[in-house]
Amino acid sequence: MMQGYLRPMPIDVQLARSLTPGCSHVLHFNSCGSSLMPTPVLDAVKAHLDLEARIGGYEAAAQAMPHWERAYDSLAGMLNCDRNELAITENASRAWEMAFHAIPLGPGDRILTGHAEYVSNWLAFLLVRQRTGCRVELVPNDEHGQIDTHALSSMMDQRVKLVALTHMPSSNGLINPAEEVGRLVKGSGALYLLDACQSVGQLPLDVKAIGCDLLSGTGRKFLRGPRGTGFLFVRKEVLERLSPPFIEHQSANWDELERFSWRMDARRFETWEKSYANVIGLAQAVDHAMSWGLDAIAERVGDLANELRNTLATVPGVRVHDLGLRKSGIVTFTKNGVDPMRMMQELGAQGINITAARKEIARLDLEERGLDRVARVGIHYFNTSEEVERFVAAVSDMS
Ligand SMILES: *Cc1c(COP(=O)(O)O)cnc(C)c1O
């Protein structure tokens, strides 16, 4: 994967596991759903809740300001952007929606998207098409199952106002070529909105290299932050082209009785009330990921996921369903005669956490490929080859 480059310092897996209390209780293959928090995240969240209980919520936020303000610096460092280009939200869906519904769209304007697009994003396209008369067009997949960049290039014109891409779908192990898409959108006048929920914390993400104008991410998945956290990156050059769908006293200033002005930075997409404990936890999660290095994380996740795919493929009746030239830490598969929902439950009873992806939330992907449900694993750097073996043995035993 990193041919021609220096390999990053490998992760000390024993240390990573000793910093992950959940590792001694479960075999956690669900980092694409919600990962296991490491101790520094957990301790920081608990400490802030304790402080709130002891001295009061407003007073605790004031005292802990350096800790939650650091979340912007940590995210900016990870994404290679400015701290003023970031909004922290209660989840990634809200971050994405704030960006999407801020984009001016009218009749005949075109939105281009791909088959990996997240369910809620697609629903928002349908809603806004209904309201505005804009058009929603699907870019086909190429022979590898990723977005066809040649097709995208031929579809671009003046009417395209938005190219929306999901970097890694939640229904199979594909990694879309986000940087190539960025090069195609650049200079076209369209905005490029990247849903990076499954890639943040799993891959190095550089918004300048990707060339996206907007990027949304969640805290609880591969980033290993607390649930109920998300963020939005808004490139400063596009801020004034957007019209936030909601307003409140965090996002705007009430200048005079009948006049307001938006906040100067991307925090115009935030709400005033938030869980400060969670924001502090998010900062810790980013710092924790950066302490291992995202190159090192990507390499280990890629290796473990490939090991799992290769081993699963040797089990009679098992088929792996991941698409893409480059693959992520998400591994999807089916076993003949075993309903993935039942597989999830039976493995759960053995202390093994996975989920199942259903066509009802992946019509552009699973339904189009004639798949009803697939078992879904999200593997992370704190997982081990022994866990891969134990997991594959458990799947083999199932009928
Ligand atoms: C999980 C996920 C989301 C939604 O994130 P939330 O934080 O749950 O709102 C969006 N897009 C993708 C690709 C996801 O996997």
CA nearest ligand 1 atom 15, residue: 170
Distance linking the first and last C-alpha atoms of the chain: 35
What class does CATH assign to 6-37+293-397?
alpha beta
Q: Is 172 in the pocket of ligand 1 (CB under 6 A)?
A: no
Report the predicted TM-score, pTM, of the whole model to 2 decimal places. 0.97
Q: Could you tell which of 31, 89, 170, 355 is best to mutate to test the pocket of ligand 1, judged by most ligand atoms within 8 Å of the CB?
A: 170
Q: Is 278 in the pocket of ligand 1 (CB under 6 A)?
A: no
Tens digit of pLDDT per residue, the chain (399 long)?
A: 445 566 788 999 999 999 999 999 999 999 999 999 999 999 999 999 999 999 999 999 999 999 999 999 999 999 999 999 999 999 999 999 999 999 999 999 999 999 999 999 999 999 999 999 999 999 999 999 999 999 999 999 999 999 999 999 999 999 999 999 999 999 999 999 999 999 999 999 999 999 999 999 999 999 999 999 999 999 999 999 999 999 999 999 999 999 999 999 999 999 999 999 999 999 999 999 999 999 999 999 999 999 999 999 999 999 999 999 999 999 999 999 999 999 999 999 999 999 999 999 999 999 999 999 999 999 999 999 999 999 999 999 999
CA nearest ligand 1 atom 14, residue: 197
Q: How far is the CA of 199 from the centre of ligand 1 (A)?
A: 11
Q: Is 217 in the pocket of ligand 1 (CB under 6 A)?
A: no
Q: How far is the CA of 136 from the centre of ligand 1 (A)?
A: 20
CA nearest ligand 1 atom 2, residue: 197
Q: Is 92 in the pocket of ligand 1 (CB under 6 A)?
A: yes
The pLDDT of residue 1 is: 46
The pLDDT of residue 109 is: 98
Q: How far is the CA of 227 from the centre of ligand 1 (A)?
A: 11
Q: How far is the CA of 197 from the centre of ligand 1 (A)?
A: 5
Query: DSSP E strands: which ranges in 242-348?
Result: 252-256, 259-262, 318-320, 330-335
In tens, the pLDDT along 358-381 reads 999 999 999 999 999 999 999 999
Q: How far is the CA of 7 from the centre of ligand 1 (A)?
A: 30
Q: Is 34 in the pocket of ligand 1 (CB under 6 A)?
A: no
Q: Is 117 in the pocket of ligand 1 (CB under 6 A)?
A: no
SS (H, E, C) the chain: CCCCCCCCCCCCHHHHHHCCHHHHCCEECECCCCCCCCHHHHHHHHHHHHHHHHHCHHHHHHHCHHHHHHHHHHHHHHHCCCHHHEEEECCHHHHHHHHHCCCCCCCCCEEEECCCCCHHHHHHHHHHHHHHCCEEEECCECCCCCECHHHHHHHCCCCEEEEEEECCCCCCCECCCHHHHHHHHCCCCCEEEEECCCCECCECCCHHHHCCCEEEEECCCCCCCCCCCEEEEECHHHHHHCCCCCCCCCCEEEEECCEEEECCCHHHHCCCCCCHHHHHHHHHHHHHHHHHCHHHHHHHHHHHHHHHHHHHCCCCCEEECCCCCCECCEEEEEECCECHHHHHHHHHHCCEECEEEEHHHCCCCCHHHCCCEEEEEECCCCCCHHHHHHHHHHHHCCC
What class does CATH assign to 41-291?
alpha beta
Atom index in ligand 1 nearest the CA of residue 116 equals 13
Q: Could you tell which of 35, 89, 93, 168 is best to mutate to test the pocket of ligand 1, judged by most ligand atoms within 8 Å of the CB?
A: 93
Do 6-37+293-397 and 41-291 agree at the fold level? Answer: no
Cα–Cα separations (whole angstroms), residue 82 to 69, 72, 207, 233, 243: 13, 9, 10, 9, 20
Q: Is 230 in the pocket of ligand 1 (CB under 6 A)?
A: yes
Q: How far is the CA of 118 from the centre of ligand 1 (A)?
A: 7
Q: How far is the CA of 198 from the centre of ligand 1 (A)?
A: 7
Q: How far is the CA of 224 from the centre of ligand 1 (A)?
A: 14
Q: Could you tell which of 118, 205, 227, 355 is best to mutate to test the pocket of ligand 1, judged by most ligand atoms within 8 Å of the CB?
A: 118
The pLDDT of residue 4 is: 53
Domain boundaries, the chain: 6-37+293-397, 41-291
Q: Is 27 in the pocket of ligand 1 (CB under 6 A)?
A: no
Atom index in ligand 1 nearest the CA of residue 91 equals 7
Q: Is 365 in the pocket of ligand 1 (CB under 6 A)?
A: no
Q: How far is the CA of 356 from the centre of ligand 1 (A)?
A: 15
Q: Is 91 in the pocket of ligand 1 (CB under 6 A)?
A: yes
Q: Is 35 in the pocket of ligand 1 (CB under 6 A)?
A: no
The pLDDT of residue 5 is: 60
